[in-house]
Chain A
Amino acid sequence: MDSYTFQLYSQILKTFWRIILIALGIAAVVVLFPFMKDVLTILIISALLSILLSPVVNLLESKGLGRSWAILAVMVLILGLLVFSFQMIVPRLIRSINALTDRLQSGIIFDYNQKIEDFIIKNFHNAELAKNVTARLNELGFQLLGSLGALFKSVGSFLASIVIIPVVTFFMIKDARHFKRAFISKVPNQYFELSLNILYKIESQVGKYIQGQAIDALIVGILSIIGLFIINLVFDNPVPYFVFVGTIAGLGNLIPYVGPVLGAIPALALAILSNPPHLGLILIWIIILFIVVQAIDNALISPLVVSKSVNMHPLTVIVAVVIGGKIAGPVGMLLAVPFTGVIKVVFSQVTWGLKNYKISFPSKIEEYSVLNRKR
């Protein structure tokens, strides 16, 4: 066996073992995923928080504060805001859900059932069909309430981990550079600059993308809250719990195409349940509000704050949302699009790196070795 064949053979063997190791790694992640779900959730939330808070920490650091103190100051501020908003919002939320349940139990369902049954009997002359339709609708309604309860249960476990998340976030912001250096120190020399450049670009673009999405969601949420507040002022409070509804609209905005509809549905449903005078007009105003908010978002906010490099095809968005929902329920649906955006950034940057850097390094090293030997 000549030396070239030997080198080729060892290279193929190395590649084979690498593929086996990667496959085993992926299999381990898939098998361990159910057990690691909570840990992964904490890590993902902490990573998102560290991306969102880093610019503020950097700003405080540039004003002369030490990095650890800057992180602590931001964390205390955020925790203070969270405690304040929980104190303000959670009791109201519980009150509003109780009120909603009372309303549902106090015959409003019966009224609507009766109206639907009458409508079907009048138009289709089929009493059995009317009974089936109302039974099915009721079943769906209770299923929806049940899943809402499950969501709040998951929020409860989230609250339990709220102690761990700030600690993890603190170290993620403080030691991000050390983690990166430790990771990059394991990369072989011939791929060092390529990997480092790709890593920097991914870090920068993912950061911009997530910060942009968060700012966009915040502005859409605030605009929706203001709009619903004005509608409430004009029409004598037809949309109760409008802060909650606006928050949902802001969060829903993380999902392109589907988000705006998701944002409008709770507002419309609450208005219908309140059953105020001029209901039709109110519903039209709510629809107009969400169309205007979307128009402002698409024309003014998104182009300024959301990175253009992460434009996604509607089909990609739908597939991502469905898969996200299957894996992690409503939270998964919400995080599916940003997560796909991150994957897209990683993929495009790796492709950029492979295109721009000459990867045939080992042969080049040989060339230089030959050059050195000749000299």
Chain B
Amino acid sequence: MENPIWGNGIFRKKKKEEGIFALLKQVPIFSDLTARELVEIEKIVHRRKYKKGELIICKGDPGLGMYIVVEGSVEIVDEDKKAGQRRLASLTKGSFFGDLALLDESPRSASATASEDSEIIGFFRPEFLDLISRKPKLGLKVVLALARVVGERLRRTNELLIKIPEEKGTSSNG
């Protein structure tokens, strides 16, 4: 990131980070955005580098926002006193996690840790809310896309819930 104090803010020629824009475009909540709108998103995200084994988010901590994997891989782990640690998913380049924290500050439902040296983009709720107030059209596009993602997830959960009694019934009959 360019130093805001020593960097020339007026005559600075912005380097187009095509790779990052292409990556953001892969994320469902940014997929409908134009190149110009992606530039606005790029201005408010945080890029971080994590070493292998480093914790990114911890289960139970207040949720602040979502993360997108740029390089490397991330493991989502569920910690439970009784069941111990359970690996839920392994995420690679272009995958995202923690998106529900864009909606509220509920505690994180799982932990995420870098399973190799990784680069990650963070997109956080306060910046998102600020974006909605400054650029309502762009904000609305992201909100609708986020609602679609959450709705899709709810639909899948419903389908799974319907399947469970059916499977139970089949196993008890069998």
Contacts and interface: CB of A to CB of B under 8 A. Distances in A.
Contacts, number: 88
B133 A58 contact: yes
B133 to A, nearest CB: 6
B134 interface: yes
B46 A368 contact: no
Contact of A368 (B5, B43, B113, B135): B113
A184 B46 contact: yes
B46 A364 contact: no
A177 B61 contact: no
A204 B126 contact: yes
Majority DSSP secondary structure for residues of A touching B: helix
Interface string B36-80: 000000011010101011111110111010000000000101000
A268 B75 CA distance: 71
A62 B135 contact: yes
Given A175-B4, A196-B124, A358 B136 contact: no
A182 B4 contact: yes
A175 B85 contact: no
A177 B41 CA distance: 12
B1 to A, nearest CB: 6
A357 interface: yes
B61 A178 contact: no
Given A185-B1, A197-B64, A62 B55 contact: no
A200 interface: yes
B3 interface: yes
Question: Looking at chain B's contact residues, is the secondary structure mostly helix, strand, loop, or mixed?
Answer: mixed
Contacts of A178: 4, 9
Given A58-B133, A196-B124, A371 B85 contact: yes
A22 interface: no
A196 B58 CA distance: 15
Interface centre among A193, A197, A200 (most CB of B within 10 A): A193
B53 A365 contact: yes
Nearest to A204: B126
Contacts of B111: 368
Contacts of B77: 368, 371
A196 B113 contact: no
A185 B46 contact: yes
A369 interface: yes
A356 interface: yes
Nearest to B98: A193
Contacts of A181: 1, 4, 46
Given A58-B134, A62-B134, A177-B44, A357 B55 contact: no
Contacts of B58: 357-358, 361, 364
Contacts of B127: 177
A192 B48 contact: yes
19 contacts: A61-B135, A62-B136, A177-B44, A178-B9, A185-B1, A185-B46, A189-B56, A192-B48, A192-B122, A193-B61, A194-B61, A196-B64, A197-B64, A200-B64, A365-B54, A368-B53, A368-B113, A369-B53, A371-B77
Interface of B: 1, 3-5, 9, 43-44, 46, 48, 50, 52-58, 60-62, 64, 75, 77, 85, 87, 111, 113, 115, 122, 124, 126-127, 130, 133-136
Given A177-B44, A368-B53, 8 more contacts: A62-B133, A62-B134, A175-B9, A192-B46, A196-B46, A203-B126, A358-B61, A372-B113
